[in-house]
């Protein structure tokens, strides 16, 4: 009997009960991109398209056990981190990524949900920046997150470049600054050792954007796991999420989820 393998990606993130964001969105995205997905859960959330009702944090020792279980059996070709929640959990994640010499690390600096709920404790922001960012291949802040991380207002393409350059020079990782939240286009800026690269995108008039950040970062990790260079991985991930938005899935009473399986 013939056997085969798949590239593997581990998502370290929170769970979304409604399935539109978090590990549920990550795993759907990975499957749609031809990847075997695995997960280590940092928190459970009771949420839906209208908001987050409750959050239950995972115990640090249990998160550590989840990570050990994955790394010692099916070693991931890439890692995606999402909702890391607090200082203690970030410390565990950093320890394990260093111990196992993880590669292709995509950090989505999740701070606030689409609904406005805080998903990162204040004490965790310094740990995110000082401990996790330096391990990343790329970080993927949206404009609001980039403003919070740099302390700068971003209202133009020029200010996106300034912010991304500051993050790159401070933390030594590539930066994908996503422009879709505040500016009236879908142009993203990838800042690497080669400098700024604009990635033009089609603006799609779709209010259902729950989980777009989770989906994009997971798609990038999926392409990196396949061996794509970073710029190609980001371009392919953008094409995937554009298709997921164009599918115009309409579920729930608030900002609905994407159609992660539009290409299957």
**Annotated catalytic sites, by residue?**
178, 209, 211-214
Residue 195, classed as helix, strand or coil, is strand
DSSP for 19-82, please give it: SSSHHHHHHHHHHHTT-EEEEEEEEEEEEETTEEEEEEEPPHHHHHHHHHHHHTTS--SEEEE-
- C-alpha 225/C-alpha 161 separation (Å) is 27
- C-alpha 144/C-alpha 249 separation (Å) is 25
DSSP one-letter code for 180: T
DSSP one-letter code for 148: H
- How far, in whole angstroms, is CA 3 from its chain's centroid? 31
Query: Within a 10 A sphere around the Cβ of 59, how many other Cβ atoms?
Result: 11
Identify the CA nearest to 22 among candidates 158, 141, 114, 127: 114
What are the φ and ψ backbone dihedral angles of 37, each rounded to 5 degrees?
-95, 145
- C-alpha 225/C-alpha 245 separation (Å) is 23
DSSP one-letter code for 256: P
- C-alpha 55/C-alpha 222 separation (Å) is 27
């Amino acid at each position: 009997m013939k056997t085969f393998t798949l590239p593997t990606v581990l998502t370290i993130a929170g769970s979304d009960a409604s399935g539109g964001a978090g590990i549920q969105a990550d795993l759907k995205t990975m499957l749609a991109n031809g990847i075997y997905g695995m997960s280590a859960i940092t928190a459970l959330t009771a949420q839906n398209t209208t908001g987050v009702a409750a959050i239950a944090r995972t115990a640090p020792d249990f998160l550590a056990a989840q990570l050990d279980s994955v790394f010692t059996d099916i070693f991931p070709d890439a890692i995606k981190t999402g909702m890391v929640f607090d200082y203690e959990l970030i410390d565990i994640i950093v320890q394990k990524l260093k111990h196992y010499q993880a590669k292709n690390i995509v950090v989505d600096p999740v701070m606030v949900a689409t609904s406005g709920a805080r998903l990162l404790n204040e004490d965790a922001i310094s740990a995110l920046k000082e401990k996790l960012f330096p391990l990343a291949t790329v970080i993927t802040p949206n404009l609001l997150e980039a403003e919070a991380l740099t302390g700068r207002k971003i209202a133009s393409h020029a200010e996106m470049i300034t912010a991304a350059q500051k993050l790159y020079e401070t933390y030594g990782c590539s930066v994908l600054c996503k422009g879709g939240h505040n500016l009236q286009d879908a142009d993203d800026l990838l800042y690497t050792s080669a400098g700024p690269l604009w990635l033009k995108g089609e603006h799609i008039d779709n209010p259902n954007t729950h989980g777009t950040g989770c989906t994009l970062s997971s798609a990038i990790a999926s392409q990196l796991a396949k061996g794509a260079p970073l710029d190609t991985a980001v371009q392919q991930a953008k094409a995937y999420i554009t298709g997921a938005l164009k599918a115009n899935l309409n579920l729930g009473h608030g900002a609905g989820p994407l159609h992660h399986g539009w290409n299957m």
